[in-house]
Amino acid sequence: MYEISATIIDDFSQNGFVVTENVLTPEEIARYGAAVDREVNKRTVDDTRTVADKSTYEQSFIQCMRLWETSAVVRELSFHPALASIASQLLSEPELLLWQDQALYKEPGGRETTPHQDQPFWPIGDAPLVSAWIPFTDVTIESGAMAYVPGSHLVGKLKVVDITHTTDPYDILNDPALEGRAAETTEVKAGSVIWHHGFTVHQAHANNTEKVRRVFTTVYLARGYPRAKAWPVFPLDRAGVGVGELMEGEGMPQVWPTPNKLPEPPAQRGQTTGPQQ
């Protein structure tokens, strides 16, 4: 178990985001980063568009999902016991499932990621959920660092920000419930991990450098909570989870406590690129 301090847990509880330093070794960063690079390259090899030719959403990042299902090396990262242990401690939940993993590679010239909350995209109600944001290189404000609104997770669900289908989404930063609080930029070193709660309002800066911002994320969901709504979402629909039924099954394997062996990918891989909803 990767122990974190009470201070880190308290900071996460109060602010809805926190950095844990030096979680992964330089050797792990190099190995996992190369594996994610290979998966992103395979899935985007036929896309020759420039950033300017892409949709507003696609200009924010290249998004490739569920890499654990197609790469044995990436699977090791998604089920890394240190990550799962930290997630369990931050949420104060004894058992966690993998909701999804994804690469979020922001190209040179990539626009800022629109401010939003993650959890309202999904029909999971207020089930405890946390994301790990794992950079493979140091990330600065110039290369696309994240920014979080402190304490915004305590407000709960705000209006859904449609970041995938509109060029003029809801301006969540001016939602009255946030009382004018600004997002705080969080630069981070490779090997460290930023964590944010499912209801934390967050965004990312544009990438104004000449290199791709290479980031991988894993999203962990507490076991034992029912599906709240019926609208379509790939993980729950693939597993055949109905409204009111516990969220678990194919494609949402246990990550904590650490399984005795890494799970085999589901036979039906399905959605591996595209919007995270």
pLDDT in tens, 194-253: 999 999 999 999 999 999 999 999 999 999 999 999 999 999 999 999 999 999 999 999
d(CA 154, CA 53): 38
Residue 166, pLDDT > 90, answer no
pLDDT, position 277: 36
Strand partners, 101: 218
167 pLDDT tier (thresholds 50, 70, 90): confident
pLDDT, position 86: 98
d(CA 165, CA 7): 39
The mean of the pLDDT values for the chain is: 95
d(CA 223, CA 6): 23
Peptide bond into 128 cis (omega under 30): no
Mean pLDDT of 119-124: 97
Residue 268, pLDDT > 60, answer no
pLDDT, position 16: 98
Mean pLDDT of 64-93: 98
d(CA 76, CA 1): 16
